[in-house]
Structure 1
Amino acid sequence: MNEQSQRLGTQPIPKLLRNLSVPAMIGMFVMALYNVIDTLFIARGVGILGVAGVSIAFPAMMIMMAVSAAVGIGGASVISRRLGEDRQEEANQVFGNVIFMIVAVSFFGLISAFTFMDPMLKLFGASDEILPYASDYIFPILVGSIFFTFAFSTNNIIRSEGNSKVAMITMVVPAILNIFLDAIFIFGLDMGVQGAALATVIAQAIGSVMVLVYFLGGKSSLNLHLKALKPQWLVIKETLIIGMPAFVRQVAGSAMMIAINSMLIRFGGEFEVGVFGIVQKLTMFTIMPMIGVLQGMQPIIGFNYGAKNYGRLRDTIVLGMKVVTIMSAGIFVIMMALPEVLMMIFTGDQQTIDAGAHAMRIMFAMAILIGAQVVSGGLYQALGKARPAFILSMARQVLFLIPLVLVLPHFFGVTGVWLAFPLSDVLAFTLSMVFLYKDRQLFFKSSDGGSGSTNYSTAPSS
């Protein structure tokens, strides 16, 4: 086992969490920055209808991300625990099966580009005016889905073995390249939203090459053998069960986008969809640093849980919770004080600025609760506890946000869509605290392995 994996069980927790989280946060920050700049370029170079088209098409990308997350995060959780248990060859087998699943699922993205793309976009809420922009954006993304899926999934695998710097580089370089290609294709070549999509595909293809060089160059703790690519049902099953919460979370995000866009068109119009497209990218920008902290926590939690180092497990959870809570408080202050300034980055139209600022102040009213929600679901996932991870991954978006989005606009109009966000934050936070309190002995059990925690299985209940 490489030194980068061994340090998960030996390095002091504050230093280790910082070393793993900071590169992850930088990577997520740059990815979020790319999304913001991408939207900025489209808003300035194409207009609010271009932003609306991307917003309509974005659920399709989120479905691709959902599959990638299920494979990558599920595989990462299994691999980190195998490494903690010193089962190197089994970790290699899991990695090989992850690659097999990536290739298999990417095929369906390619097929969808030539079969049911337009009906899918209409299902997502595309009007006749928005459909051309949405189609131009999503077609190149679907054709190049192999690069998107491979880069996204394997980045989690790299992080699972403790090599956060390489994981950061394979995120940052494509994101920066994407920004430059956006400017060339949108403004230089006047390719509109299709240029933005093409820039994304090229950047992810280069990121995929970087990942291949890393794994095939002997720098990884994992070894990729041809025999490991042979599908093994038990390995695939365990990976997908653990990755299912991430899949549900992303699919729920896609369903949330569809519900929000549909209600905005019904109670407002294309203008409100465009405004939400801008606000939604800013929302991703605020959440990404906390996801970076979680990504730094997960390999530490998985490794030390597998190695039965429960003191290190506890210290990681406590420190991580403190960090994301401080971040959440900072996000609340910024969104309450500076929403107009943030909207002015994207547009000079006063109506758009006012509408976006109004939406953000409502949506982030309970932002201080977001950090604990982000960590709680990922915590159970890193431990391999599929059932609570699944429930918490669904809580905010499926159990609370989508129903509120569908109900509140009937009473409050477009404002009802924005009100659904803080209400769902309160409800999801409460549910997270219930789970964490119920399983407090799991997180604070002694090093002898004794526990009074609920006995969750990593397999679905019958």
Structure 2
Amino acid sequence: MARISSSELGNKPIGKLLIKQSVPASIGILVMSINILVDTIFVGNWIGSIAIAAINVVLPVSFFIAALGMAIGIGGSSIISRALGADMDEKALRTFGNQISITLLVTISMVIIGLVFINQLIPAFGGKGDIFEPAKIYYRIVLYGVPILALAMMGNTVIRAEGKPKFAMVAMIIPSVGNLIMDYVFIHILDWGMEGAAWATTGSYVLCLGYILWFFMSKNSELKVKWEHFKLKLNILREIGALGFVTLSRQAVVSVTYLLLNNILFELGGESSVTTYAIIARMLMFALFPVLGVTQGFLPIAGYNYGAEQYGRVRESINKAIGYAAGVALLVFVCIMLFSTEIVSVFTKDEAVIASTPSAMRWVFAAVPIIALQLIGSAYFQAIGKAVPALLLTLTRQGFFFIPLILILPKFYGELGVWISFPLADLISTIVTGYFLNREIKNTLVETESAS
């Protein structure tokens, strides 16, 4: 992946920059999404539809742990980047050492708690009825790999902070490919069932961390930590926590929505409804990868030009990013509307699931063409360093609107109420984001540009 110098961000055409920045980000997201998608297909066809539901029950735990590692990584990486840029190598090393220490302390504690309360936590996350036993098997094995996952997520962001995006992208590809190979061996050939699926997932974490450890121990990395760097420093931990809070909050809300949806759907339609949501959730991760890639590509362009006070280029980057993302989202929408039945049939042979899922999937994706505005709008505030509005707008869809909707609408419309909550939350959050983005453009970009 070619790196883009800061001067190019301020001089080259916005359209070309967006494409050049978005493609690498999209590749990383695509590889991870394909892994999740194919993994679900393997599990559904080789173990059964209940296995898909069981894995979906455990996902909130995995998501939250991954978010924890990512939050510590993003918070520390910001410090490391600035420290390296200012030739403060010792601060960079101590920050990295503190990241490793706090990640291990927190995640090992969570593993112990998770294993002690396993029989209470799985039903709480929606693992009831026939889902309980396979979810318990998967949960226990995956939990062993939680510290490894968190360290891998944290390490990946630090690699990016060192300016080594190629290595960071490879670190995302290795576990994805490894997981699929191990799925085939453990489930299809050795017939280990849920245990095979769980060990394949945990094994993929080990592969990822192994590659990341190799990177930091090789000459490719500038960060060569010593034992003294692992000693926790309160001022560093505070700075890591403050900078990583936005990421942790966003992912924590995602985990909460999984928890609520699994429980609500189980009460409304049993195991098949949980399986339906599991399939739709995988498609959301996979189908929207290019939209998320455009969002990631937009961030450095907007941030650089805002800092350089080139407000005309900032507005152009907003408009083009929304246009590109909306175009891709519209294509996704059309494909889902036309081929939802064929898509579902790839995941499972369960006739009840195949009959009910296409309609639900169409409802969930109904407002996808407009989400570009919400994603780019919230990303803009993050790019210019306004953490509070970035956090609030990021949480509008999942936290402020979606959760209340799924708690209220099913009481009146049953399972349909769950599915229509998705487009309603998308619509309302897009309107809110559009209002604040438009106000910010007028008050900051247009007026400041006119005054100068």
Q: Structure 2-normalised TM-score? A: 0.89
- Name the aligned partner's letter for residue 52 of structure 1: A
The residue that corresponds to 2:132 in the other structure is 131
- CA-based RMSD of the aligned residues comes to 2.9
Indicate yes or no: 2:210 matched with 1:212. no
User: What is the percentage of aligned positions where both structures have the same residue?
Assistant: 33
The residue that corresponds to 1:7 in the other structure is 5
Native 8 Å contact 2:56 2:278 kept in 1: yes
Indicate yes or no: 2:48 matched with 1:50. no
The verdict on how the C-alpha distance between 1:333 and 1:45 changes in structure 2, with shifts beyond 3 A counting, is: same
How far 1:35 moved relative to its partner? 0.7
**Separation of aligned partners in 2, 1:99 and 1:19:** 32
Native 8 Å contact 1:159 1:299 kept in 2: no
Number of residue equivalences: 446
How far 1:321 moved relative to its partner? 2.8
Native 8 Å contact 2:159 2:168 kept in 1: yes
SS in 2 for 1:255: helix
Indicate yes or no: 2:223 matched with 1:223. yes
SS in 2 for 1:398: helix
The verdict on how the C-alpha distance between 1:373 and 1:162 changes in structure 2, with shifts beyond 3 A counting, is: farther
**Separation of aligned partners in 2, 1:439 and 1:91:** 34
The residue that corresponds to 2:174 in the other structure is 173
- Superposed CA offset, 1:384-409 (max 9, x none): 32211221222111111111111111
The verdict on how the C-alpha distance between 1:385 and 1:284 changes in structure 2, with shifts beyond 3 A counting, is: same
**Separation of aligned partners in 1, 2:330 and 2:366:** 11
**Separation of aligned partners in 2, 1:51 and 1:381:** 35
How far 1:199 moved relative to its partner? 0.9
The residue that corresponds to 2:334 in the other structure is 333
The residue that corresponds to 2:193 in the other structure is 192
**Separation of aligned partners in 2, 1:316 and 1:238:** 30
The verdict on how the C-alpha distance between 1:5 and 1:100 changes in structure 2, with shifts beyond 3 A counting, is: farther
**Separation of aligned partners in 1, 2:229 and 2:246:** 25
The verdict on how the C-alpha distance between 1:366 and 1:387 changes in structure 2, with shifts beyond 3 A counting, is: same
How far 1:7 moved relative to its partner? 1.3
The verdict on how the C-alpha distance between 1:229 and 1:392 changes in structure 2, with shifts beyond 3 A counting, is: farther
Native 8 Å contact 2:373 2:430 kept in 1: yes
The residue that corresponds to 1:71 in the other structure is 72
The verdict on how the C-alpha distance between 1:30 and 1:445 changes in structure 2, with shifts beyond 3 A counting, is: farther
Q: Structure 1-normalised TM-score? A: 0.87
**Separation of aligned partners in 2, 1:305 and 1:5:** 20
- Superposed CA offset, 1:113-158 (max 9, x none): 4211221111112214211111111212211112211222222333
When structure 1 is superposed on structure 2, of 40-49 and 229-238 the one drifting more is 229-238
- Superposed CA offset, 1:353-379 (max 9, x none): 231100011111100122232333333
SS in 2 for 1:30: helix
The residue that corresponds to 1:234 in the other structure is 235
The residue that corresponds to 2:289 in the other structure is 288
Native 8 Å contact 2:45 2:349 kept in 1: no
The verdict on how the C-alpha distance between 1:24 and 1:146 changes in structure 2, with shifts beyond 3 A counting, is: same
- Superposed CA offset, 1:396-445 (max 9, x none): 11111111111111111111110000000011111212222232255568
- Name the aligned partner's letter for residue 8 of structure 2: T
How far 1:312 moved relative to its partner? 6.2
Native 8 Å contact 1:370 1:429 kept in 2: yes
**Separation of aligned partners in 2, 1:445 and 1:191:** 64
How far 1:308 moved relative to its partner? 6.6
1:233-272 → structure 2 map (5 Å cutoff): 233-272=234-273
- Superposed CA offset, 1:86-134 (max 9, x none): 4654555544433333223221233134211221111112214211111
1:243-392 → structure 2 map (5 Å cutoff): 243-301=244-302, 316-392=317-393
The verdict on how the C-alpha distance between 1:377 and 1:198 changes in structure 2, with shifts beyond 3 A counting, is: farther
Indicate yes or no: 2:422 matched with 1:424. no
Native 8 Å contact 2:69 2:150 kept in 1: yes
SS in 1 for 2:347: coil
**Separation of aligned partners in 2, 1:77 and 1:110:** 28
Native 8 Å contact 2:49 2:350 kept in 1: no
- Name the aligned partner's letter for residue 223 of structure 2: N
Indicate yes or no: 2:130 matched with 1:118. no
SS in 2 for 1:190: coil
Structure 2: stretches of 5+ with no match in the other structure = none
How far 1:320 moved relative to its partner? 2.9
**Separation of aligned partners in 1, 2:402 and 2:350:** 29
How far 1:50 moved relative to its partner? 1.0
When structure 1 is superposed on structure 2, of 303-312 and 18-27 the one drifting more is 303-312
Native 8 Å contact 1:301 1:383 kept in 2: yes
Structure 1: stretches of 5+ with no match in the other structure = 452-462
- Superposed CA offset, 1:227-256 (max 9, x none): 554433333323322322221221111111
The residue that corresponds to 2:156 in the other structure is 155
**Separation of aligned partners in 2, 1:88 and 1:371:** 39
When structure 1 is superposed on structure 2, of 436-445 and 391-400 the one drifting more is 436-445
**Separation of aligned partners in 1, 2:318 and 2:208:** 31
- Superposed CA offset, 1:40-91 (max 9, x none): 11111111111111111111112112212322233344555666x7465455
**Separation of aligned partners in 2, 1:311 and 1:378:** 18
